[in-house]
């Protein structure tokens, strides 16, 4: 059980279970409506306006979801503390990059529905998170930088390259944001990259330790099985010896009497 779920009442848990997939679809629609005008700057006004309407409708759905869960929460202060990212994304909709925080819902749902294996969950969680972070950061920085004086990120390819080199902490420096919003996105991406690398490193270390433990456990199991077989063989030999003793003893007595 997560910290968020720990603050839910039974009714809140039911609400969370019933709305997670619709909200995931809403997050995907939100991403599409946000990304389309950025990737197609020559989009005609009616389509651009339609995308804006979709963005705000999805935002309204997230507002309804947040305050419904807040009303159903048993410990409201604890709920707010455990859902700060949701609150920030709702309270500051005018900052376009912060709108993308709503996509955290996709990562949470993927983590819940991933394979039962811990390593499988970590691999899927980290992989999906990395792709999502790189993609949305590229969109956000392109939206902030394109068309600005002396900007060197003017296409999605440039933005994607910058995002990939930044999140992996390589940072070639050939592409970099100049606007305040772009640098704000860069700071968030750097922090996300550090956290992502930490998770990947910990996951690899955990996997290696588990593999070594499996090898040791397998060797111990084989040794235990062999010892069990040796014990069984010794027991059988004891039984054979005991069975032979009554037959050998009379012969030994008879031989002693004959020699006497």
Six-digit token string for 147: 């068309």
Residue extents of the structural domains in the chain: 1-113, 115-230
pLDDT tens over the chain, length 260 residues: 444 544 566 887 888 788 877 877 888 888 888 889 989 988 999 999 999 999 888 888 888 888 998 898 888 888 888 877 677 767 655 445 555 555 655 655 555 555 445 555 666 667 777 888 888 889 889 989 998 999 999 999 999 999 999 988 787 888 999 999 899 889 988 888 887 777 777 777 777 787 777 777 777 778 888 888 888 888 888 888 777 766 555 555 555 555 55
CA–CA distances in Å: residue 7 to residues 43, 74, 109: 44, 6, 18
Please say whether the beta carbons of 154 and 145 come within 8 A: yes
Please say whether the beta carbons of 97 and 184 come within 8 A: yes
CB-based burial of residue 216 (10 Å sphere; 0-12 exposed, 13-18 middle, 19+ buried)? exposed
Six-digit token string for 31: 């991403």
Please say whether the beta carbons of 89 and 99 come within 8 A: yes
Residue found under tokens 């235990």:
224
pTM comes to 0.65
Q: What is 115-230's CATH topology?
A: Helix Hairpins (1.10.287)
**How many angstroms separate the first and last alpha carbons of the chain?**
88
**Phi, then psi, of 7 in degrees rounded to 5:** -90, 0
The sign one gets for the Cα dihedral 58, 64, 67, 73 is negative
Please say whether the beta carbons of 70 and 12 come within 8 A: no
Q: Which helix (H) or strand (E) holds 186?
A: helix 180-259
Alpha helices in 146-179 (DSSP H): 156-167
């Amino acid at each position: 059980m997560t910290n968020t779920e720990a603050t839910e009442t039974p009714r809140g848990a039911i609400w969370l279970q019933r709305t997670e997939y619709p909200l995931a679809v809403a997050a995907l629609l939100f991403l599409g409506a946000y990304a389309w005008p950025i990737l197609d700057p020559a989009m005609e006004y009616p389509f651009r306006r339609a995308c804006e309407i979709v963005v705000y409708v999805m935002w309204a759905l997230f507002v309804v979801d947040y305050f419904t869960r807040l009303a159903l929460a048993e410990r409201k202060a604890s709920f707010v503390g455990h859902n700060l990212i949701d609150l920030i994304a709702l309270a500051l909709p005018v900052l376009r990059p912060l709108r993308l925080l709503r996509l955290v819902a996709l990562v949470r749902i993927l983590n819940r529905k991933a394979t039962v294996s811990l390593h499988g969950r970590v691999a899927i969680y980290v992989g999906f998170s990395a792709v999502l972070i790189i993609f949305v950061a590229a969109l956000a920085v392109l939206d902030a930088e394109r068309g600005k004086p002396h900007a060197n990120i003017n296409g999605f390819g440039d933005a994607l390259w910058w995002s990939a080199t930044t999140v992996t902490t390589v940072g070639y420096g050939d592409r970099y944001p100049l606007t305040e919003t772009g640098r704000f996105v860069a700071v968030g991406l750097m922090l996300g990259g550090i956290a992502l690398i930490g998770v990947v490193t910990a996951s690899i270390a955990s996997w290696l330790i588990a593999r070594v433990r499996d090898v040791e456990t397998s060797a111990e199991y084989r040794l235990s099985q062999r010892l069990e077989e040796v014990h069984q063989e010794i027991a059988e030999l004891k039984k054979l010896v005991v069975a032979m003793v009554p037959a050998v003893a009379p012969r030994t007595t008879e031989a002693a009497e004959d020699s006497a």
